[in-house]
Amino acid sequence: MSDRQQVSIYSGEEEVLSAVVELRAAGFRILEVFAPYAVHGLERAAGLRRSRIGLITVTAATIGSLAFYFFQDWVAAISWPVNIGGKPYSSAPAWIPVVFETGVLAAGLATVLALFVRSRLYPGKRARLIDPRVTDDRFAVVLEIPDSGFDVERAREICARHGAESVEETAVPESGKKPRKPHVSSLEVWR
């Protein structure tokens, strides 16, 4: 793992998109891209997989719904069955609204929690910014500079061709955690 990286800054989404496509095609390894807003296609251009957070949503929804279905049935038919309006103790149709709501609630909470945990977002976290403008209107592409075989000129040339405002080589931030699982994308560094 190298401790150097190349950072190029762009001011438009078209520029960054084309730069990323070409950089990757040229065999450069993109450590991370920073964007002020979601640019369609950029994730895929940078080689990211789709998130599987949806699985968590489905699981949580199922658990939330089932738990509350059985809880309601237990409350009404087992814990303390009472005759309410002559209805049967197990009045399944009446449980549906709450089952639905608890399913949605559990799913929503779990999904967002998953996002935060997976992306290590937590309140009060100090943001590690590649450039103060990336939350405003600039895009940044971070290339890995391997210990050898990095064609600095080529990289600079591609970036400049795609409208990079600046291209710099910098050190990988020191406190950046080492990736726990090396096979996972090195984008980890920028979490």
Partner 1 sequence: MSDKRYWKSLEELDARAEQAESAERVSPLEEPIGRRGFLLASGFTLASGVLGGCSRSPVEKAIPYLDQPDGIVPGRAAWYATTCGGCTARCGVLAKSRDGRPIKLEGNPDHGFSAGGLCAVGQASLVELYDSQRLGAPRLQGREATWDEVDREVRHSIEGVVTSGGRVRLLSDTVTSLTEQRWIRRFLGQFPDGRHVVYDPLSSSAILDAHLATHGHRLLPRYKLDRAEVIVSFGADFLGTWISPVELTAAYRRGRDLEGESPHLSYHAQLEGRMSLTGSNADSRVVVDPGDVGPVLSQLVGKVADRAGAELAGFGAVSASAVEEGVLDDLADRLWRARGQALVVSGSESVREQVLVNYLNELVGAYGATLDVERPSYQRQGDDRRLAGLVKEIQDGDVDLLLIRGVNPVYDMPTPELAEALEAVPTVISFSGSLDETSTRADVVCPEPHFLEAWGDSEAVAGVVSITQPVIRPLGRTRALAASLSAWLGEPASALDLIQDCWRDEVFPRAAIGAFQTFWDRTVHDGSARVTAIPTEVGPFDRSMVRSLSGGAEPDNYTLELYPKVGMLDGRHAHNPWLQELPDPVTKVVWDNYACLSPRTAKHLDVGQNDVVLLELPDGAALELPVYVQPGQHDRVVAVALGYGRAGTDRFGTVAPKWLEGKPTVVPGATVGTNAASLASLEGRRRRYVRSGLRVTPTGATYDLATTQIYHYLSVPEKLAPADGKDRPIIQETILPEFLEDRSAGKPHMHHFDSDLWGEHEFETHHWAMAVDLSACTGCSACIVSCQAENNVPVVGKDEVKRRREMHWIRIDRYYRGDEHSPDTVHQPMMCHHCDNAPCETVCPVTATLHSSEGLNMQVYNRCVGTRYCANNCPFKVRRFNWFNYAHDDKLQNLALNPDVVVRERGVMEKCSFCVQRIQEAKHTATSQGREVADGDIQTACQQSCPAQAIVFGDLKDPESRISKMRQDPRHYLVLEELNLRPSVGYMRLVRNRPTPASTPLAEGEEGSHHG
Partner 2 sequence: MDRAAWPLREPLIAGDKTPGQVTIDVSRPLEGKATPLWWAAFLVSLVTLGVGIAAVTYQIRVGIGTWGLNRTIGWSFDITNFVFWVGIGHAGTLISAILFLLRQKWRTSVNRAAEAMTLFAVMCAGIFPIIHMGRPWLAFWVLPYPNFRGPLWVNFRSPLLWDVFAISTYFIISAIFWYVGLIPDLATLRDRFKTGVQQRLYSFFSLGWNGSLSVWNRYETVYLILAAALATPLVLSVHSIVSFDFATSVVPGWHTTVFPPYFVAGAIFSGMSMVVTLMIIARKTMRLEDYLTHRHFDIMTKLILATSWMVAIAYATEFFIALYSGNEYERFAFLNRAMGPMAWSYWIMVSCNILVPQIFWFRRFRRTLPVVFVATIFINIGMWFERFVIITTSLHRDFLPSSWASYAPTKIELATFAGSFGLFFTCFLLFCRFLPVIAMAEIKGVLGSHLRPQTVPIVDEVALEATAARSATAELEEVAIPGPGAVSLDLSPEETST
Which residues inside 76-95 make contact with partner 1, applying CB under 8 A? 82-88
| List 54, 146, 173, 176, residue binding partner 2 (CB under 8 A) | 54
Check residue 118 for interaction with partner 1 (CB under 8 A): no
Q: Of the candidates 4, 43, 66, 160, which one interacts with partner 2 according to CB under 8 A?
A: 43
Residue 124 binds partner 1 (CB under 8 A): no
d(CA 120, CA 56): 17
Q: Where is 141: in which H helix or E strand?
A: strand 139-145
Q: How far apart are CA 95 and CA 54, in angstroms?
A: 26
* Min CB(45)–partner 2 separation in Å: 6
150 near partner 2, rule: CB under 8 A: no
Q: What angle do CA 176, 147, 45 make, to 5 degrees?
A: 70
Residues facing residue 167 across a β-bridge? 8
Q: Choose the one of partner 1, partner 2, none that binds residue 149, judging by a C-beta under 5 to 8 angstroms depending on kind.
A: none
What is the b/e burial string over 118-152, where b = at least 16 CB atoms within 10 angstroms of the residue's CB? Answer: eeeeeeeeeeeebbebbeeebbbbbbbbeeeebee
Contact 2, 172 (CB under 8 A): yes
66 binds partner 2 (CB under 8 A): no
83 binds, among partner 2, partner 1, none (CB under 5 to 8 A by kind): partner 1
Of these, 107, 143, 145, 164, which contacts partner 2 (CB under 8 A)? 107
The label of the residue with tokens 């190029």 reads 8
Least distance from partner 2 to the Cβ atom of residue 4, Å: 19
User: Taking a C-beta distance cutoff of 8 angstroms, is the pair 72, 98 a contact?
Assistant: yes
Using rule CB under 8 A, residue 33 touches partner 2: yes
Residues 2-21 that bind partner 2 (CB under 8 A): 13, 17-18, 21
Binding residue (CB under 8 A) for partner 2 from 67, 134, 160, 172? 134
| Residues near partner 1 (CB under 8 A) | 82-88
